[in-house]
Chain A
Amino acid sequence: MKASELQIGQTARIVEIIEGYSSKKLMEMGCIPGTPLKLEFRSPGGDPLAFNIDGYVLGLRISEAENIIVEME
């Protein structure tokens, strides 16, 4: 599934980052396969999303989070 489909409070493990404009930046920000990812909260408008990744909070638009493929544990 995509990281953008997680419910608030759900944790999943990153499986793959889809190649694209933001894939390099996502990896540099710590989104690499194997890392757990938790959806912490959403913006009041539903987009962007805030994920907890390796102990810090990363804000991502839905369109960006769609490029992160995750797997529920």
Chain B
Amino acid sequence: MLPKESYIALLGNPNCGKSTLFNRLTGMRQSTSNLPGTTVEQKSGIWKFGSESRAIKDLPGIYSLYTHSEDEAVVVDHLLGNGKYAEPGYIIFLLDASNLRRNLLLFDQVSELGFPMVVALTMADTAIRRGIEIQEEKLAAQLNCKVCVINPRKGFGIDKLENNLLELPSKRMDSSEARNKLLAFRKGEKIPGISAETLGRYKKIEAIVKETVVKKETERISLTKRMDKIFTHPFLGFFIFASIMLTIFQGVFTLADYPMTWIENGFGQLANFLRNSLPDHFLTRLLTGGVIPGLSGVLVFLPQIAILFFFISLLEDSGYMVRASFITDKLMRKIGLNGRSVIPLIGGFACAIPSIMATRSIKNRSERYATMFVIPLMSCSARLPVYVLLVSLAVPAGTRIGPIGVQSLVMTLAYFSGIIVAVILARLIKIFKKSTAPSEFIMEMPPYQIPRMQTAWSNVRYKSMSFVKEAGKVIMVISLVLWFLASYGPGNEMEKAEAKVRSEKNLSSAEMETKVMAVRLESSYAGKMGKWIEPAISPLGYDWKTGIALISSFAAREVFVGTMSTLFQSSDAQQVEGIRAKMAKARDPESGKLLYGAPYAYSLILFYAFALQCMSTLAVMRRETGSWKLPVLQFIIFGAIAYVAAFGIFQLSLIL
């Protein structure tokens, strides 16, 4: 039997039932981890059988060991014990009975590596429905390997699989020739004759199939075939696709709003409670003003992440995701993206954070990076309150062109401007960034199946955990910095400004408090920075107050509205309306012109549509790409586009 410290690897083609078997064998004793430098999420767990228990790993499904994809090469690295991976002790090879020839190709390649191996034959019932009957004993003799039929969903055949494993020798056979060849391929050396080798293997496989498979004719049209008729129908297909996308969007946009409000209110109340009950000390302020809001700012993304990945997991598992790429491939290819870019892009209208994480299903690296790059240009839900305030400044309520309300028209244009720039950028990336692997769509379209809740749940749990652990740190640090900038100022200017307000006589206590907050913010470091950047932003039509709001809204875009209402000493009960009224009346003391008129509003709408004003997006980009390069590039490029666009529209509307 296998030494204790070694592990068993599950190996096979994609969609052969590997993950289901893994779940069946390990139950809840499993964990997911992200293999460093790849998008590969690997599951490992403990399998208890009889008196034994062994570590077991679910390696990603692949079609061939000769792969150029970094993600798939992880499997090869495991088998060779290459780099940081230990090689497995035993292999359970899953053969999809309904697809024997193609599955046997990988089996034939792997068998040359000499591992002690057993074969688990899956999908035998599907095969029988298609009139394919496989003779187990004959197959075992041909493959020179123990074979048993299993049904991992129903748990059938697992005991036989255990028995077969117990009979395996404990050592790998010598296989240096095959290993060296694979190693050379892995190092990027040109190996001649791979095509001939593949054809040779298929010839051998054909002989095996002839010996072991009994084929009967069936007239049955499978359910999958009928479903595909509907799902890829020219009209119905698009209609179903659009409905599914709308449902997901609504889920992330609307449904997630409830738990998000609970999280924000809960942490807000906790901070208030601690502020009132703890002594006034630097540590109290750090805790209630910096740490707790920072924590809230991380956890508030969890509902959106959970809901998006729950839906994505259902779509992947059911087999629909491949169909969705299939029907959108042509359109997305035109703009240099991938069929699988659609869900992340639509999700971007709710929130960029889970959407950027969702690009992992895009296998082509340059298409994945291009998708991630443009996602923040989709106007997310955090931009909505900002747009609402600004649109109300730009257009008087009730203005109409014919039947169309002008306010909603401007709002729609704000959304479209982001989409248009995203399309242009994606095309430019395709033109200028030559990808190493040409785009391809060679994809198996597996039969539909009922999605498994356990898979969805473990996916949601893993995504949430890894976001909190990795992106959460960066968000926490930046929000602490922002808190410090807004709460402390140079010298004792804040105290002086506060004392001056407190000495005023004719103010009610509520008026006093809002005024104190405003002058404190004004004389804080953030306030100073707002004034300091004023020369840079005044060509766009912004004053120093807007500067402060721009800086503080880096925590989250909707903070813009809150900061402006603090600066305008507006009570936050009727936030948007109160702040709108005050901003609409404000005039430049020298020229007497409106400070926040329509040109200002249009300019700022465009600025928010384009600029990467979101620390969490930067944090999650860094985590997903493993470096600061792409997020910094995004920040600069989007910032430049935002600046130019805002400048253009402001100057233009001044002339008009």
Q: Which residues of A contact B (CB under 8 A)?
A: 19, 21-30, 32-33, 40-48, 50, 54-61, 64
Task: Specify the chain B residue showing the minimal Cβ separation from A30.
Answer: B102
Q: Is B292 an interface residue, CB under 8 A from the partner?
A: no
Question: Contact between B102 and A24 (Cβ–Cβ < 8 Å)?
Answer: no
Give which listed residue, A27, A43, A61, contacts B327 with CB less than 8 A: A43
Q: Which residues of B contact A (CB under 8 A)?
A: 63-64, 66, 98-99, 101-102, 105, 130, 132, 194-195, 198-199, 202, 224-225, 228-229, 232-235, 237-238, 322, 326-327, 329-331, 438, 440-446
Question: Contact between A46 and B228 (Cβ–Cβ < 8 Å)?
Answer: no
Q: Which residues of B contact A45 (CB under 8 A)?
A: 327, 329-331
Supposing A24-B198, A61-B329 touch, asked if A43 and B440 sit within 8 A by C-beta, the answer is no
Question: Contact between B194 and A24 (Cβ–Cβ < 8 Å)?
Answer: yes
Interface centre among A24, A45, A46 (most CB of B within 10 A): A45
* Supplied contacts A28-B105, A44-B237, A59-B442, 5 more A-B pairs, CB within 8 Å: A45-B331, A50-B445, A56-B446, A59-B444, A61-B441
30 pairs, CB–CB < 8 Å, chain A vs chain B = A21-B440, A22-B440, A22-B442, A23-B195, A25-B63, A28-B63, A28-B66, A32-B202, A41-B229, A43-B232, A44-B232, A44-B233, A44-B235, A44-B237, A44-B327, A45-B329, A50-B232, A50-B445, A54-B99, A54-B101, A55-B132, A56-B99, A56-B102, A56-B444, A57-B224, A57-B444, A57-B445, A59-B322, A59-B442, A59-B443
Question: Contact between B440 and A48 (Cβ–Cβ < 8 Å)?
Answer: no
Q: Which residues of B contact A57 (CB under 8 A)?
A: 224, 228, 444-446
Q: Which residues of B contact A44 (CB under 8 A)?
A: 232-235, 237-238, 327
Question: Contact between A48 and B330 (Cβ–Cβ < 8 Å)?
Answer: yes
Task: Specify the chain A residue showing the minimal Cβ separation from B438.
Answer: A21
Task: Specify the chain B residue showing the minimal Cβ separation from A33.
Answer: B199
B73–chain A nearest beta-carbon distance, Å? 14
Supposing A44-B234, A57-B445, A64-B440 touch, asked if A24 and B228 sit within 8 A by C-beta, the answer is no
- Please, how many angstroms separate the alpha-carbon atoms of A41 and B233 in the complex? 9
Supposing A44-B237, A56-B98, A59-B326 touch, asked if A64 and B198 sit within 8 A by C-beta, the answer is no
Question: Contact between A28 and B64 (Cβ–Cβ < 8 Å)?
Answer: yes
Give which listed residue, A24, A27, A41, A56, contacts B232 with CB less than 8 A: A41
Question: Contact between B329 and A30 (Cβ–Cβ < 8 Å)?
Answer: no
- Return the 7 tightest CB-CB contacts between A and B, nearest first: A45-B330, A57-B445, A28-B64, A30-B102, A44-B234, A59-B443, A61-B441
Q: Which residues of B contact A59 (CB under 8 A)?
A: 322, 326, 441-445
- Please, how many angstroms separate the alpha-carbon atoms of A27 and B202 in the complex? 9
A57–chain B nearest beta-carbon distance, Å? 4
- Please, how many angstroms separate the alpha-carbon atoms of A21 and B438 in the complex? 8
B contact patch SS: helix
A61–chain B nearest beta-carbon distance, Å? 5
Question: Contact between B228 and A50 (Cβ–Cβ < 8 Å)?
Answer: yes
- Please, how many angstroms separate the alpha-carbon atoms of A57 and B323 in the complex? 11
Q: Which residues of A contact B130 (CB under 8 A)?
A: 55
Q: Which residues of B contact A47 (CB under 8 A)?
A: 329-330
Question: Contact between B441 and A60 (Cβ–Cβ < 8 Å)?
Answer: yes
Q: Which residues of B contact A30 (CB under 8 A)?
A: 101-102, 105
Question: Contact between B237 and A27 (Cβ–Cβ < 8 Å)?
Answer: no
Question: Contact between A61 and B233 (Cβ–Cβ < 8 Å)?
Answer: no
Question: Contact between B443 and A58 (Cβ–Cβ < 8 Å)?
Answer: yes
A15–chain B nearest beta-carbon distance, Å? 13
Q: Which residues of A contact B440 (CB under 8 A)?
A: 21-22, 25, 61, 64
Question: Contact between A27 and B228 (Cβ–Cβ < 8 Å)?
Answer: no
Q: Which residues of B contact A22 (CB under 8 A)?
A: 440, 442
A40–chain B nearest beta-carbon distance, Å? 7
- Please, how many angstroms separate the alpha-carbon atoms of A58 and B228 in the complex? 13
Q: Which residues of A contact B225 (CB under 8 A)?
A: 40
Question: Contact between A29 and B327 (Cβ–Cβ < 8 Å)?
Answer: no
Q: Which residues of A contact B105 (CB under 8 A)?
A: 28, 30
- Please, how many angstroms separate the alpha-carbon atoms of A30 and B443 in the complex? 12
Q: Which residues of B contact A19 (CB under 8 A)?
A: 195
Task: Specify the chain B residue showing the minimal Cβ separation from A35.
Answer: B101
Q: Which residues of B contact A60 (CB under 8 A)?
A: 441-442
Question: Contact between A28 and B329 (Cβ–Cβ < 8 Å)?
Answer: no
Question: Contact between A43 and B329 (Cβ–Cβ < 8 Å)?
Answer: yes
Q: Which residues of A contact B322 (CB under 8 A)?
A: 59
Give which listed residue, B98, B99, B195, B229, contacts A27 with CB less than 8 A: B195
- Please, how many angstroms separate the alpha-carbon atoms of A46 and B327 in the complex? 9
- Please, how many angstroms separate the alpha-carbon atoms of A32 and B442 in the complex? 15
- Please, how many angstroms separate the alpha-carbon atoms of A32 and B198 in the complex? 9
Task: Specify the chain B residue showing the minimal Cβ separation from A57.
Answer: B445
Supposing A27-B198, A48-B329 touch, asked if A40 and B444 sit within 8 A by C-beta, the answer is no
Supposing A44-B233, A44-B238, A57-B228 touch, asked if A28 and B198 sit within 8 A by C-beta, the answer is yes
A3–chain B nearest beta-carbon distance, Å? 12
Question: Contact between A64 and B442 (Cβ–Cβ < 8 Å)?
Answer: yes
Question: Contact between A25 and B228 (Cβ–Cβ < 8 Å)?
Answer: no
- Please, how many angstroms separate the alpha-carbon atoms of A45 and B101 in the complex? 31
Supposing A45-B327, A46-B330 touch, asked if A24 and B101 sit within 8 A by C-beta, the answer is no
- Please, how many angstroms separate the alpha-carbon atoms of A27 and B193 in the complex? 13
Give which listed residue, B99, B198, B235, B326, contacts A55 with CB less than 8 A: B99
- Please, how many angstroms separate the alpha-carbon atoms of A19 and B192 in the complex? 13
Q: Which residues of A contact B443 (CB under 8 A)?
A: 58-59
Supposing A44-B327, A59-B322 touch, asked if A26 and B232 sit within 8 A by C-beta, the answer is no
Q: Which residues of B contact A58 (CB under 8 A)?
A: 442-445
Q: Which residues of A contact B329 (CB under 8 A)?
A: 43, 45, 47-48, 61
Q: Which residues of A contact B237 (CB under 8 A)?
A: 44
- Please, how many angstroms separate the alpha-carbon atoms of A64 and B98 in the complex? 25
Task: Specify the chain A residue showing the minimal Cβ separation from B198.
Answer: A27
- Please, how many angstroms separate the alpha-carbon atoms of A61 and B441 in the complex? 6
- Please, how many angstroms separate the alpha-carbon atoms of A46 and B331 in the complex? 11
